[in-house]
Structure 1
Amino acid sequence: MIPEKTKNDFSKGSVVKNIVSLALPMTLAQLINILYNIVDRMYIGRIPEHATLSLTGLGLSMPIITVVIAFANLFGMGGAPLCSIARGKGDTKGAEKIVGNAFTMLLCTGLLLTIIGLLFKKPLLYAFGASDATFPFADSYLSIYLLGSVFVTVSLGMNSYINAQGFARVGMVTTLIGAVLNIILDPFFIFTLGMGIQGAAIATVISQFASAAWTVRFLTSPKAILRIRVSCMRPCGKTIRDITTLGLSNFMMAITNSIVQVVCNATLSIYGGDLYVGVMTVINSIREIVSMPVSGVTNGSQPVISFNYGADKYDRIKTAIRFMAISCIVYTTAIWGILHLFPVFFIHIFNTQADLVEAAVPSMQIYYFGFFMMSLQFSGQTVFQALGKAKYAIFFSVLRKVVIVAPLTILLPRWITPAVNGVFLAEPISNFIGGTACFVTMLIVVGKELKKADLQKKTSECP
């Protein structure tokens, strides 16, 4: 048996190979995870009656769904880098304390979000841009989805701790189980039983339950390096504070995405009506698909960077950063060209109604202009997160969405004709400004720290 401290040791072997070995299954896991939402939208967009209204209703629910995911990120992705750093130092006991406290917080948060969401969903949906025509569809989906909030927080949040230990294939299976169930159950509930958008929600909740059960089962088994132990689940103020502080960047990224979705939907409902809210739903769905490889590479790089930071392997950190950044830039540049040349192909995945397709093509080409700049934001954020630099990670999460995108979404439609184009133009502008600022700051701040730490290490090693 391989000793626990030497399992998945990212301080040894090729850095690129370590990242790729994690990134490939994580990318596939991202694809599978996206299927949770994508399959719903594909089937909902083909419901014989009220297809566009149903799809728009789902889009209106997304800000609230994003909030649920944000809390999963808060305690999941907040603690995962800390676990990797602790493992790099050989502190298994401290790492398991992080896992146990995160599990407790994810359970409590999931239950709390269910209660709050069900109590305030109606005023929230209308505030997010719902009309009397679209509210019934949004309400039908969200009322059922919220009942599974605890399954979402546990499956997404705790899966980060599986990946942090280097078990990317197991993490992939977590999402595979739920996605396969969702693909099978969606048509049965939506079409066979004739439940429409409610059927899609029921299928999703059942699938999320299965994923959560698998995640907990693995993390309580002897196969895991770091396990969920009852003795480690008792809340510790310092541990929760450390997890929350680092997780705030991912939390804020998700929350700010929710804010932008609200602002976009509300603004589009004024200038373009329900049709353009549906267009934005399609565009966001496409974004989830094309961003998947970027998320896979950055998520695969994070445990490697964190582990080597804990192990004082600074040259390996630099190699990991270079590989991650170059890979992301090359991919996003290529996909930008593909999206510009073949927008209809991607739109038809979710909706084939002529009026929506006609409106979506120019909107999509504006929205994805200069898409490669987004990779700079992702790369910079990942490095800050992996090294435990919470303040920088939080700042740049807020900068791009709250400071740049949201105000531009409101202001640009007043200056540009047609007004709806102003809403879609806000995204590329934020990518250029926010992406550049985040990446350049990361190079300066992290470069100086690694150089200083490396010098101190070499000095201490001298006889």
Structure 2
Amino acid sequence: MKVPPTTTALVPMFTRRFLYTLIIPLVIEQFLAVTIGMADTVMVASAGEISVSAISLVDSITILIVQLFAAFATGGAVVASQYLGRRDYASANSAAKQLLVLSLTVSTALLLLCIPFRRQIINFIFGSIEEGVLTKGSTYFLYILLSLPFLAAYNACAALFRSMGNSKVSLWVSVVMNLVNIGGNAYFIFVLQLGVVGAGLATLISRILGALIILVLIAGPNNQISIRNYRKLEWHWEMIKRILHIGIPNGVEGSVFQIGKLLVQGFIAAFGTASLAANAISGSVASFVNIPGGAIGLASITIIGQAIGAKKPEQAVHYAKKLILIAYLSMAFISIPVFFFAPQVVAIFNLSAEATNLASNVLRSAMIFTITFWPTAFSLPNFLRAAGDAKYTMGVSMFSMWFFRVGMSYFLAIILNWGIYGVWTGMYIDWVSRSIFFIHRFAKGKWKTIHVI
């Protein structure tokens, strides 16, 4: 709950309790997403290698699409948060409705465009693959495409609840969706033996249910932001432009980042199975460590956005420093034990001796750079986006991704023959580069003068 406004600018806008109730559910939600995602993969694996390969290929494509919806959601949440900070609730509601209209329009357009050509899309992206994988991938892709409008609606409404400071709603709806997905997989794959059709059905049903629940909840009259009349979802271009001002740079940045990651993973494939396995395990463990930093980044949209909307840049600076400190402390709390017990952690995955040694070394180096550079490289830019400085973060991210993560990875791994160590070193250089640019931008303060609303 917010502290009542006073005449003293130094009085904090948010209580400590408010910060905890915003951040902790976000951490739990992301943790559940990773763990339940792993359980989902294990269940699907029972359908056979061809099915797993087909689902994996389609998931690689849908990650790019999900990035687009997440970008729109971020844009809408930033605009809504700034209006809430200004206490302009009518405009916040208008922004919320336009975010939903935009998300549903784009997702429906993608659905209609991609369904007839889904087989060709898979073939174009991945080249010549086995006929069985292509056929099953096309089948699974159909269900994923059908689920896009529901996923878009969920992402939009979840972002709006977070902009109000209520992250518990997205947590519980996410739990319901994931449990339905797991239960659906169990029934459709194990009982009915439907394979990729079962996996697709479970995903579709879980997203339909999640969208319906959160659309009912966002219509609640007690919400600061409420969308009550779904039959009157008009298109207001001026508000859409405000959302796209944040959403387009954020979407381009996220998509380019995913493409760069795919390219770098291609480098590792040249070093053999042990390197591929070591990279996969190191990345999975590192994703757990990064969860608090990711949650801080999401929370900052609400906190920094409302402070900027209230025209209190000094509050934005105050909370940005507090949030980055929380990110460092929470990530260090996880990183330090992982560093010391890296061999034991890797041993859980029962890899070969070579892969275990590679993964242990990579994981230890990752923990060192995580507790020194990850928060400023990935949490801090979200503070800038919340203020509307999305074009700058996009420019830095694209430059650093292609010049350092991709370019240096290729030079170190392929040219100098450092193997997997070269790829991860290139990634660390990328983190350092991002940190330098974002810290400089934050310190200079130009982000405080950008106008979104």
TM-score (normalised: structure 2): 0.84
The amino acid that maps onto 2:304 is I
Alignment-derived partner of residue 66 in structure 2: 69
Please give the secondary structure, in 2, of the residue aligned with 1:316. Answer: helix
Does structure 2 conserve the Cα–Cα contact (< 8 Å) formed by 1:71 and 1:251?
A: yes
Structure-1 separation of matches of 2:392 and 2:18: 26
Alignment deviations for residues 301-353 of structure 1 (CA, whole Å, 9 cap, x no partner): 3212221222233332222111111111223334333343444666678x656
Alignment-derived partner of residue 206 in structure 2: 207
Question: Map of 1:263-278 to 2, 5 A cutoff?
Answer: 263-272=263-272
Change over 3 Å in CA distance of 1:140–1:431 after alignment to 2? farther
The amino acid that maps onto 2:201 is I
Say if 2:188 is the partner of 1:189. Answer: yes
The amino acid that maps onto 2:68 is F
Structure-2 separation of matches of 1:44 and 1:305: 40
Question: Map of 1:93-172 to 2, 5 A cutoff?
Answer: 93-118=90-115, 119-120=117-118, 122-124=120-122, 127-128=125-126, 131-132=129-130, 135-136=133-134, 139=138, 141-172=140-171
Say if 2:321 is the partner of 1:314. Answer: no
Does structure 2 conserve the Cα–Cα contact (< 8 Å) formed by 1:152 and 1:212?
A: yes
Alignment-derived partner of residue 40 in structure 1: 40
Does structure 2 conserve the Cα–Cα contact (< 8 Å) formed by 1:129 and 1:265?
A: no
Question: Map of 1:18-417 to 2, 5 A cutoff?
Answer: 18-35=18-35, 37-44=37-44, 47=46, 49-50=48-49, 57-118=54-115, 119-120=117-118, 122-124=120-122, 127-128=125-126, 131-132=129-130, 135-136=133-134, 139=138, 141-228=140-227, 229-230=229-230, 233-272=233-272, 280-343=279-342, 352=350, 354=352, 358=356, 360-365=359-364, 370-372=369-371, 373-417=373-417
Please give the secondary structure, in 2, of the residue aligned with 1:371. Answer: helix
Structure-2 separation of matches of 1:127 and 1:433: 30
Does structure 1 conserve the Cα–Cα contact (< 8 Å) formed by 2:387 and 2:448?
A: no
Contiguous gaps of at least 5 residues in structure 2:
6-10
Structure-2 separation of matches of 1:346 and 1:134: 36
Structure-2 separation of matches of 1:415 and 1:134: 36
Does structure 1 conserve the Cα–Cα contact (< 8 Å) formed by 2:103 and 2:152?
A: yes
Does structure 1 conserve the Cα–Cα contact (< 8 Å) formed by 2:374 and 2:431?
A: yes
Change over 3 Å in CA distance of 1:125–1:397 after alignment to 2? farther
Change over 3 Å in CA distance of 1:364–1:196 after alignment to 2? farther
Structure-1 separation of matches of 2:323 and 2:183: 35
Please give the secondary structure, in 1, of the residue aligned with 2:369. Answer: coil
Please give the secondary structure, in 1, of the residue aligned with 2:395. Answer: helix
The alpha carbon displacement at 1:175 in A equals 0.9
Change over 3 Å in CA distance of 1:143–1:281 after alignment to 2? farther
The alpha carbon displacement at 1:160 in A equals 0.2
Does structure 1 conserve the Cα–Cα contact (< 8 Å) formed by 2:118 and 2:142?
A: no
Does structure 2 conserve the Cα–Cα contact (< 8 Å) formed by 1:59 and 1:277?
A: no
The amino acid that maps onto 2:298 is N
The alpha carbon displacement at 1:220 in A equals 1.9
Does structure 2 conserve the Cα–Cα contact (< 8 Å) formed by 1:376 and 1:435?
A: yes
Alignment deviations for residues 234-277 of structure 1 (CA, whole Å, 9 cap, x no partner): 1122211110111234323421232023213433344436x755
Change over 3 Å in CA distance of 1:194–1:333 after alignment to 2? same
Structure-1 separation of matches of 2:62 and 2:76: 22
Structure-2 separation of matches of 1:66 and 1:83: 25
The alpha carbon displacement at 1:198 in A equals 4.5
**Residue range with higher mean Cα deviation, 422-431 or 94-103:** 422-431
Structure-1 separation of matches of 2:350 and 2:128: 22
TM-score (normalised: structure 1): 0.82
The amino acid that maps onto 1:221 is G
Q: Identity over the aligned pairs, expressed in percent?
A: 16
Structure-2 separation of matches of 1:19 and 1:124: 43
Structure-1 separation of matches of 2:430 and 2:334: 18
The amino acid that maps onto 1:165 is M
Alignment deviations for residues 15-65 of structure 1 (CA, whole Å, 9 cap, x no partner): 4433222111122222233355333223345x3853xx7655554434312
Alignment-derived partner of residue 459 in structure 1: none
The alpha carbon displacement at 1:300 in A equals 1.9
**Larger RCO, structure (CA 8 Å, separation 6 or more):** 1
**Residue range with higher mean Cα deviation, 429-438 or 238-247:** 429-438
Does structure 2 conserve the Cα–Cα contact (< 8 Å) formed by 1:248 and 1:394?
A: no
The alpha carbon displacement at 1:134 in A equals 9.2
Change over 3 Å in CA distance of 1:142–1:425 after alignment to 2? farther
